[in-house]
Amino acid sequence: MRPPPRVTITRRRLISAALAAGSMVSLGGARRALSQASGPFSLPPLPYPEDALIPVISSTTIGFHYGKHHRAYVDNLNKAVEGTDLAHKSLEDIVKATAGDPARVGVFNNAAQDWNHIFYWNSMRPNGGGAPNGAIADRVKDSFGDFATFRQEFATAAVTQFGSGWAWLVQGQDKKLRVVKTANADTPMARGLTCLLTCDVWEHAYYLDYQNRRPDYVNAWLDKLVNWDFASRQLAQ
């Protein structure tokens, strides 16, 4: 009998955090997402209905972003790894194995974008945003001095990322939190950093709702959508 696919800790965290935050994902849906620790991969369920983030993000944007863009990354990844030595690796392992490899840039782009988008959906929740509480609030204060400084650094990173990319709150090996930004499909996870939150600043994440007003999207995202419960669960102790 073929052994079940290995489930990475990161994927477990993503699913359990989504459920804990009031996810609409059924137990069966969570199990199906967990089963995709190795290819062929499938589009995991959103942790909330498509209209749950209104008025910050419309259901139209979610429909295109999740249903078209994210799905395309998953479909392209399956085509790219089929019949290769990567076919039975976990999503996280594929990202790490192909990062910086010019011969596998297409695989990396699609695998990293799948991973980044799963992380992005879980970085948000209805009625989220604002300042955190608990342990992560202490980490933010220790690393940035206060929440206002963190918020300014994160907003600046998201707004000033030239072209397509991502803004991240990450934790380094020294346990300190920092804000970084990455271009296109790049992800801090591939460089050994622990990701806590991410904001997608590719135009398809906000253009239908905000046109060229990226700062308005970023500010609304920080004030009304950030899922601090999810970020807390990613913290390395």
Residue labelled with tokens 């990450």: 170
pLDDT value, residue 9: 36
Contacts of 182 (CB under 8 A, 6+ apart): 161, 165, 166, 168, 188
All domains of the chain in start order, with CATH: 9-122 (1.10.287.990), 135-234 (3.55.40.20)
At which residue do the structure tokens 């392209």 appear? Answer: 76
Cis peptide before 55 (omega within 30 of 0): yes
Q: Provide the token pair at 81.
A: 């790894």
Dist. CA 194–CA 181, nearest whole Å: 14
Task: Write out the chain's pLDDT in tens, 237 residues.
Answer: 433 333 333 444 444 444 333 333 333 333 344 334 556 899 999 999 999 999 999 999 999 999 999 999 999 999 999 999 999 899 999 999 999 999 999 999 999 999 999 999 999 999 999 999 999 999 999 999 999 999 999 999 999 999 999 999 999 999 999 999 999 999 999 999 999 999 999 999 999 999 999 999 999 999 999 999 999 999 987
Q: Which residue has the tokens 């995991």?
A: 44
Token readout for 97 is: 């194995």
Nearest to 124 by CA among 207, 22, 32: 22
What pLDDT sits at residue 44? 94
Residues in Cβ contact with 72 at an 8 Å cutoff, skipping those fewer than 6 apart: none
**pLDDT the model gives residue 38:** 57
What's residue 13's pLDDT? Answer: 45
Residue 56 to residue 135: CA distance in whole angstroms: 27
- pTM recorded for the entire structure: 0.85
Output the pLDDT for position 233.
95
